[in-house]
Amino acid sequence: MYYKSFVAWLGTSRIMKLLFIINFLGTIYGYYWYKNQLAQTPLHLWPFVPDSPTASLFFTVVLLAFILGERWPLIQALAAVTLFKYGIWATVMILWSAVLGAQLGFDHYMLMTSHVGMAIQAILYASYFTFTIKHLALASAWTLFNDFLDYTLHIFPWVHRNLYPYLGYVAGFTVTLSVISILLFYWLVLYKGGKNKLAVKLEI
């Protein structure tokens, strides 16, 4: 009961507009964070480098669509999978580097907090997503192709130098996390959602 009420509250215009502003500003900051890596990357590969900001951009567009009374299911699928995946991925990479001896500063804790928030948003808004298996398949193809480019062309997001000896494990973890994210939202939206959909609607 409380969960349904909370999810319904997330669909109110005021909350969605607030989250839109937060995610919009976070997306801008995220792209700025990648400025040095983008400067060293060929232009045609830029869409595949700033993974987390692009994930939050997808979700920002989803929120904009909700505010406008639209759905845009393909963007929903892209947002769901990538928001959860990169939210968890970045947090694990920071903690992993700390285990290997890296010193964590304020910016690391800020990044972990924001990325955990990304993953939580994806799960909480799953009840509002209306994408189909076709949209999820396209989002899956994008996500796995991005992984392929990241670890064959070495354009993955920069990580602490302590992790470089373990890049094979990082790549394996990344692909596994992609598959987990895809299956999670298949279950939340297409399987569980189809059988026991919460009675939610956008209050716009």
Residue 203 has φ and ψ, to the nearest 5°, of: -95, 95
Confidence (pLDDT) at 199 = 38
Q: Is pLDDT above 70 for 181? A: yes
- Cα–Cα dist 3/103, whole Å: 38
pTM over 0.85: yes
Mean pLDDT of 19-46: 96
Task: Tell me what pLDDT residue 198 has.
Answer: 41
Distances (CA, A) of 28 to 24, 150, 177: 6, 22, 25
How many other CB atoms sit within 10 Å of the CB of residue 134? 11
Average pLDDT, the chain: 92
Mean pLDDT value across residues 126-152: 96
- Could you report the per-residue pLDDT of 33-66, keeping only the tens digit for each? 999 999 999 999 999 999 999 999 999 999 999 9
Domain positions in the chain are 2-195
